[in-house]
Amino acid sequence: MSRALLVIDVQNDFTEGGALGVDGGAAVAAGITAYLEAHPDRYDVVIASRDWHHGDDDNGGHFATDGAPDYVTSWPRHCVAGTPGAEYHPALDTSLVDVHVKKGQGVPAYSIFEGTTDDGAAFPDTLDRLGVTAVDVVGIATDYCVRASALDALDAGRTVTVLSDLVAAVNPVTGAESLVEIEDAGGAVRSSR
């Protein structure tokens, strides 16, 4: 039995000034670093995900290429593999991350459970190999990838807690609704403090 921190998509394109910048994203990046530095022994493993999209296609319809994005299932180009927008925000100290996961490589992907580690392992297999039974979830965006990752972790039988002060939402209303949905599904929502 081990506990993991899942750091979801703390990337330049999802923070202020990025292609899909979320208000408070940079503060979340800095907050996660401060939290990990203050609690170096709280987690057995720290796992961070990134969107890592193709730059030469629409990623299975994820990128709006023939019209305006609807911001529900189609989006502007973002987090293209190898570009500055796809990199972790500089306020996130990646030396504190043990496992890196890439998702959305040619297809829409919101949950970390849809990703693979740098060594090519499927994320759920990695959790099983590490014996992870409980996860805390932080990152961007509460109403999309944080929500999807937390719900998938619950579906996979893990104990899930979202640290509410270390997430940022695209929309405050849908962000709050997502936290309620996670609680209704059996997860917990609490402050990191």
Q: Is residue 79 annotated as part of the catalytic site, yes or no? A: no
What is the DSSP pairing of strand 132-140 with strand 159-168?
A: parallel
- Give 24's DSSP letter: T
Work out the widest C-alpha separation in the chain, in whole angstroms. Answer: 48
Coil/strand/helix, residue 103: strand
Q: Is residue 9 annotated as part of the catalytic site, yes or no? A: yes
Give CA separation, 50 vs 37, 47, 61, 82, 167, in Å.
21, 10, 18, 11, 15
Q: Which of 79, 136, 145, 152 is catalytic?
A: 145
Amino acid of residue 60: G
Do 75 and 20 touch, CB atoms closer than 8 A? yes
Q: Which of 9, 136, 143, 152 is catalytic?
A: 9
Identify the sign of the CA torsion 186, 137, 72, 25: positive
Task: Dump the DSSP string for 1-16.
Answer: -EEEEEEE--BGGGST
Q: Which of 79, 103, 143, 152 is catalytic?
A: 103
Q: Is residue 145 annotated as part of the catalytic site, yes or no? A: yes
Q: How far apart are CA 104 and CA 82, in angstroms?
A: 14
**Angle of CA points 74, 103, 77, to nearest 5°:** 35
DSSP element (H, E) containing 33? helix 25-38
Catalytic residues: 9, 103, 145
